[in-house]
Amino acid sequence: MKRISKTVAAAFAFATFAGAAVLLGAGKADSHEKMLLKPKAEFCYMCHADKKAVYMKSGHGKFDVTCDMCHNSHGSGNKSMLLKPGQDMCYACHSDVKDHFNKSEHGAAGITCNMCHDPHGTPDAEPAKQAPPAKK
Ligand code: HEC
Ligand code: HEC
Ligand code: HEC
Ligand code: HEC
């Protein structure tokens, strides 16, 4: 497994701690917690099942960065119910990227993290749709 950088580790530790107080506290598979219909780890996938396979394989999923570390189910006043608006959401844990990025040609040109990364992970290359039809 890749090593986690010190900056990310520190921010992540804080987010895990804060997250536990919000919706999807890390780990515990107790369906009764917060009277949710599913254990927290499975909760969002109840309706957003399309995210599951890709997310589990992503850099975030592998490190147990849970949905609630970026989204608030009850809304937040920000687009997509994000806990922080736009790139500030990424900087919450990747503060090391912030310093360079804002001074870079990409940052200056208004390119954002999401134009190059999907925080939910990216699917494997599309498998061949189907075998070529058999000759008659
Ligand atoms: C009972 C079903 C249900 C559950 C459970 C659920 N969602 Fe949703 N969610 C929806 C529906 C329906 C929408 C609106 C349609 C859409 O955008 O997919 C939505 C929209 C969203 C959006 C906004 C999409 C946008 O357009 O920006 C986010 C983000 C989101 N959900 C995250 C979550 C997270 C995180 C969880 C778990 C904490 C969760 N949802 C659990 C049904 C659900
Ligand atoms: C690291 C932060 C982060 C995490 C963790 C995260 N999201 Fe998101 N999510 C975002 C951002 C940023 C957007 C807005 C994307 C955009 O506007 O282009 C978003 C958008 C969405 C949307 C609406 C657009 C879409 O892609 O369908 C849904 C639904 C959603 N997230 C669900 C989830 C679920 C479910 C999880 C947990 C499996 C999750 N998110 C985990 C950052 C995150
Ligand atoms: C709650 C903390 C947290 C937030 C918020 C967060 N990340 Fe991460 N991110 C992590 C952790 C933990 C890792 C895995 C360890 C590492 O690579 O340092 C990671 C890894 C990554 C990686 C490398 C993935 C890989 O496979 O090597 C990318 C790219 C990334 N994040 C992009 C983003 C973007 C874009 C956002 C904003 C939408 C974001 N992150 C928000 C915690 C976070
Ligand atoms: C123009 C495209 C682009 C943009 C915009 C971008 N990234 Fe990246 N990012 C990359 C590429 C390419 C890599 C892989 C670098 C490598 O492996 O050498 C990467 C790697 C990463 C990694 C893995 C660790 C590392 O440094 O190699 C993290 C974390 C990350 N990006 C976070 C972010 C965040 C946060 C933002 C927004 C502030 C962002 N990126 C914006 C292209 C981009």
pLDDT in tens, 7-40: 677 677 766 655 444 444 444 456 678 888 988 8
* Higher per-residue confidence, 10 vs 92: 92
pLDDT over 50 at 81, yes or no: yes
Q: Is the CB of 44 under 6 A from ligand 2?
A: yes
Q: Is the CB of 80 under 6 A from ligand 2?
A: yes
The mean pLDDT of 111-119, rounded to a whole number, is 95
Instruction: With CA atoms as reference, report the closest residue to 119 among 73, 72, 51.
Output: 51
The mean pLDDT of 70-77, rounded to a whole number, is 96
**Average pLDDT over the chain, rounded to an integer:** 82
Cβ neighbors of 88 (< 8 A, separation 6 or more) are none
Please report, for the chain, the start and end positions of each structural domain, with discontinuous segments joined by +. Answer: 6-115
Structure tokens given for 5: 């950088």
